[in-house]
Amino acid sequence: MAKKNVIPHPNKQEIKGISDKISVPETSDMLSVSFSKFKLDPICLKGRFNNHFKDNQQYISIMTSLLKVILPKITSHSYSEIGAGSNEGRQLHFHTIDDKHRTIVREVLKEYNFSDISIEQMFEGNNIYEFSASFGHVYAARIVCHKVGNILYFLFIDTNHHIYIDEKYVRESMFYEDCPQYLEDKCSYMPNDCFAVSYLDEKKIAESFDCKIKP
């Protein structure tokens, strides 16, 4: 008769609970990010700020760079390693929003329906920052955030670099209208004075009318 295989009972001393193998990590001083306050829906403050996208390609390019390159870079450093003055900080254009440009940030937050109290609380101290959302010189997008301890609370995206605006380079970006929620029919933006820049081909106009002055 074949001998039955008997599974021996485990030695009680060899049984270890999962908790025996878990060690509580030490408090990290690495930066982390939170999207709990983040507003992605674009807004427009006529003549002062517009974070709509030029087209879907710009949106995809910026978001891909932000998620794939920028966030891993930021969250692998401490604030002291990435703060103003460091090499990493200069690469990321990581800095506080100075007094001169806080007014427009307040206006944007107000437009996004942040309460007056929460805005005042965020502006206590010098903890409103911005940094590059996309490497390279194709798109100069920035993320504006509120730093609390080692957490960066994303507030909104400055798609077209309008917080620190340089009128020489703004051009048509003040009139961009592309919204990432448009294809889902969730975009409520439809200005009464909309200027469809994306439908104008200045070169064609110049060729058609033999214009010597730019349209």
pLDDT, tens digit, 9 for 90 and up, residues 150-180: 999 999 999 999 999 877 767 789 999 988 8
- Domain annotation covers residue 14: no
**215 occurs within a structural domain:** no
Domain assignment of residue 214, yes or no: no
Does any domain span residue 24? no
Answer whether 0.75 is exceeded by the pTM: no
For residues 107 and 45, is the Cβ–Cβ distance under 8 A? yes
User: φ, ψ for residue 5 (rounded to 5)?
Assistant: -80, 125
> Is 115 domain-assigned?
yes
pLDDT > 80? residue 80: yes
Predicted confidence at residue 188, as pLDDT, reads 59
- Considering the domain boundaries, does residue 26 fall inside one? no
36 falls within a domain: yes
Find the domain containing 75 and state its range: 31-209
Residue 8 belongs to a domain:
no
197 close to 176: Cβ distance less than 8 angstroms: yes
* Number of structural domains in the chain: 1
Q: What is the pLDDT of residues 97-126, one digit of tens each?
A: 999 999 999 999 999 999 999 999 999 988
Closest Cα to residue 51, out of 62, 43, 59? 43
Residues in CB range of 104: below 8 A, 6 or more apart: 45, 48, 49, 162, 163
